[in-house]
């Protein structure tokens, strides 16, 4: 019998090398190369040699296309993030920190789908069936069409799927599933790649949607090779602060069936996750009005506008180098906007510590929040509160100009619905649409002009 060769595989990026190296040439990480035996031809060849997958090429003009009917879950927030519902035959990856609620979310979704005349198979590789039943009792789940399987062998999992023929499958988690032909340990690059490849084949052939849970690294990225995110149809991130009850389901780097910028908000309670259908009211309910350094911005999260509070605190520094800290926004934007305020507006901020925070634990990354951040910093520095019924929208350039933003009509309508009376927006966004009669539009061309209007200078 021929001796099987070994190779060294990076556990971060999947780079393969015939010899061990301390630093991976692919991702430049240290001590990530692990020795593995090369897979046999039978392990590699399912896609190339399997008779079930062999198909003849067709002319694109002769292929009949139709709108794929989506499976609606009982959670509107999840449906929105997925692009309107679950697509049959799709493979979706959900990642998140330990204990954030991934298993709770998928168990609730499994229960909702089982009540809609679908057989659901929930496969847990980390918990026993009795442990899963304890969580189900806490969530008041009593469906007869929800099946629980505690298994980590992929061959046995595939056999159970073939026998039951469920309408929805959950794999919790992919790092615990192993394939016997692959010699490396569960959770390694080879095991994750081979198991995900087989699950994708099962989903496509049998038209079964499969949700797989993925662990995350210390940096917040999904553990395993980057190839994992390329193989699946959609990547979702379930995140939230441990000290807050709110959880955010965010579209990741990829979504073949919807937008990658969508965001669904849930609240973790004792009986499980509940939807937050109007997150703007939640984020603003504890707002202190008439306080310097507090502004409201209308941010777009996918197709939905969300109003959040931005807080800034400016205080004289006690050190040679002033501190610049930000929570919820890119920390590089704070010194950039402070430099614009110092150069274009004349605020002496070089000897001031700056602390900027997005209240509620939400993270904002679009440029339309620039104007609200700049006004918050100026308000705290001058110790002068902006008007509590103002909402600020706009991107700030390095020359101090306020640039236009997208979907201004949806942002202003959401602000008017929550009772705001005035919207300070870029002057280029004034024309071409009709605003609600209950809100006044004020167009500004520069950040200096916006400060005069917002702070009443």
Q: How far is CA 366 from CA 329, 407, 415, 429, in A?
A: 9, 12, 18, 17
Q: What is the rounded distance in angstroms from the CA atom of residue 124 to the CA atom of residue 48? A: 30
6-10 β-sheet, strand order = 16-17, 6-10, 33-37
Q: What phi and psi, each to the nearest 5 degrees, are found at residue 272?
A: 120, -165
Q: pLDDT higher for 287 or 353?
A: 353
Give the chain's mean pLDDT: 87
What number is the average pLDDT over the span 227-236?
A: 85
| 187 assigned binding-site residue | no
CB 352 within 8 A of CB 314: yes
Q: How confident is the model at residue 316 (pLDDT cuts 50, 70, 90)?
A: very high
Give pLDDT, residue 281. 82
Give the ranges where 115-216 is alpha helix by DSSP (H).
129-138, 154-164, 189-206
Beta bridge partners of 35: 8
Give pLDDT, residue 457. 67
CA of residue 108 relative to chain centroid, distance: 19
Among 29-38, 75-84, 178-187, 236-245, the range of highest mean pLDDT? 75-84
What are the pLDDT digits (tens) for 6-42? 888 887 777 888 899 999 998 888 888 888 877 655 4
What are the pLDDT digits (tens) for 103-122? 999 999 999 999 998 999 99
Q: For the ranges 56-65, 101-110, 262-271, which has the lowest average pLDDT? A: 56-65
Q: What is the rounded distance in angstroms from the CA atom of residue 150 to the CA atom of residue 456? A: 64
Q: What is the rounded distance in angstroms from the CA atom of residue 330 to the CA atom of residue 58? A: 48
What is 71-277's CATH superfamily? Answer: P-loop containing nucleotide triphosphate hydrolases (3.40.50.300)
DSSP secondary structure letters along 247-310: EEEEEEEEETTS-SS-EEEEEEETTEEEE-S-HHHHHHTTPPTT-TTEEEEEEEETTEEEEEEE
What number is the average pLDDT over the span 419-448?
A: 94
| 186 assigned binding-site residue | no
| 99 assigned binding-site residue | yes
Give pLDDT, residue 44. 45
Q: pLDDT higher for 1 or 86?
A: 86
Give pLDDT, residue 67. 66
Give pLDDT, residue 64. 75
Give pLDDT, residue 217. 67
Q: What pTM, to 2 d.p., does this model score?
A: 0.76
Give pLDDT, residue 43. 46
Task: Tell me whether domains 71-277 and 282-455 share a fold.
Answer: no
Give pLDDT, residue 48. 37
455 contact partners, CB below 8 Å, separation of at least 6: 375, 378, 379, 382, 384, 386
DSSP secondary structure letters along 194-249: HHHHHHHHHHHHHT--EEEEE-B-TTSSBSS-THHHHHSSEEEEEE--TTSSEEEE
Q: What is the rounded distance in angstroms from the CA atom of residue 367 to the CA atom of residue 4? A: 54
282-455 in CATH: which number? Answer: 3.30.230.10
What number is the average pLDDT over the span 126-151?
A: 93
Q: What is the rounded distance in angstroms from the CA atom of residue 443 to the CA atom of residue 412? A: 13
What number is the average pLDDT over the span 212-238?
A: 77
| 102 assigned binding-site residue | yes
Q: How far is CA 346 from CA 79, 339, 400, 447, in A?
A: 48, 10, 11, 11
Q: For the ranges 39-43, 287-291, 369-373, 419-423, which has the lowest average pLDDT? A: 39-43
| Dihedral Cα 452, 402, 354, 308, nearest 10 deg | 90
Q: pLDDT higher for 159 or 13?
A: 159
Nearest to 255 by CA among 238, 239, 236: 236
The fraction of the chain above a pLDDT of 70, given in percent, is 91
Give pLDDT, residue 243. 67
43 contact partners, CB below 8 Å, separation of at least 6: 179, 181, 182, 194
CB 9 within 8 A of CB 16: yes
- What are the domain boundaries of the chain? 6-38, 71-277, 282-455
Q: pLDDT higher for 396 or 301?
A: 396
pLDDT at 351 over 80: yes
Give pLDDT, residue 219. 61
Collapse the DSSP code of 67 into the 3-class scheme (helix H, G, I; strand E, B; otherwise coil) and give the result: coil
pLDDT at 237 over 80: yes
What number is the average pLDDT over the span 373-399?
A: 95
Q: Please calculate the CA angle 262-266-271 and round it to the nearest 5 degrees.
A: 155
CB 453 within 8 A of CB 295: no
What are the pLDDT digits (tens) for 170-213? 999 898 999 988 878 888 888 888 899 999 999 999 999 999 99
| 101 assigned binding-site residue | yes
| 299 assigned binding-site residue | no
CB 368 within 8 A of CB 395: yes
Q: pLDDT higher for 397 or 217?
A: 397
Give pLDDT, residue 51. 44
Total Cβ atoms within 10 A of residue 58:
8
Give pLDDT, residue 49. 37
pLDDT at 437 over 70: yes
| 224 assigned binding-site residue | no
Q: How confident is the model at residue 374 (pLDDT cuts 50, 70, 90)?
A: very high
């Amino acid at each position: 019998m021929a001796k099987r060769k070994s190779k060294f595989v990076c556990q971060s990026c999947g780079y393969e090398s015939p010899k061990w190296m301390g630093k991976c040439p692919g991702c430049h990480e240290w001590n990530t190369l692990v020795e593995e035996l090369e897979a046999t031809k039978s392990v590699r060849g399912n896609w190339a040699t399997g008779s079930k997958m062999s198909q003849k090429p067709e002319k694109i003009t002769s292929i009949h296309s139709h709108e794929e009917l989506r499976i609606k879950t009982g959670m509107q927030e999840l449906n929105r993030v997925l692009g309107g519902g679950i697509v049959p035959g799709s493979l979706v990856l959900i990642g998140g920190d330990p204990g954030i609620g991934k298993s709770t979310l998928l168990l609730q979704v499994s229960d909702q789908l089982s009540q809609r005349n679908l057989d659901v198979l929930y496969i847990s590789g980390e918990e026993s069936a009795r442990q899963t039943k304890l969580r189900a009792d806490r969530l008041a789940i009593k469906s007869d069409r929800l099946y629980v399987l505690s298994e980590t062998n992929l061959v046995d999992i595939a056999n159970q799927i073939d026998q039951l023929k469920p309408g929805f499958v959950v794999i919790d988690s992919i790092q615990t599933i192993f394939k016997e032909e692959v010699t490396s340990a569960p959770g390694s690059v080879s095991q994750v790649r081979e198991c995900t490849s087989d699950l994708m084949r099962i989903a496509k052939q049998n038209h079964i949607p499969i949700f797989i849970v993925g662990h995350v690294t210390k940096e917040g990225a999904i553990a395993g090779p980057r190839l994992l995110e390329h193989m699946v149809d959609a990547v979702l991130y379930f995140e939230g602060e441990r000290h807050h009850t709110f959880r955010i389901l965010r579209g990741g780097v990829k979504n073949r069936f919807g937008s990658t910028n969508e965001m669904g908000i849930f609240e973790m309670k004792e009986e499980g996750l509940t939807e937050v259908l109007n997150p703007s009211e939640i984020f603003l309910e504890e707002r202190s009005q008439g306080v310097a350094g507090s502004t409201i911005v209308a941010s777009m999260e996918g197709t939905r506008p969300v109003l959040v509070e931005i807080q800034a605190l400016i205080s004289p520094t006690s050190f040679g180098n002033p501190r610049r800290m930000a929570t919820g926004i890119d920390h590089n934007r704070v010194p950039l906007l402070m430099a614009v305020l110092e150069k274009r507006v004349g605020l002496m901020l070089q000897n001031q510590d700056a602390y900027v925070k997005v209240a509620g634990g939400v993270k904002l990354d679009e440029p339309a929040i620039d104007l609200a951040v700049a006004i918050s910093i100026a308000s705290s520095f001058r110790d002068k509160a902006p008007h509590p019924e103002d909402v600020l929208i706009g991107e700030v350039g390095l020359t101090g100009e306020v640039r236009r933003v997208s979907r201004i009509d949806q942002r202003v309508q959401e602000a008017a619905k929550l009772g705001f009376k005035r919207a300070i927006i870029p002057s280029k966004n004034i024309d071409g649409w009709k605003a609600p009669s209950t809100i006044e539009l004020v167009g500004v061309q520069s950040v200096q002009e916006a400060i005069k209007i917002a702070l009443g200078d």
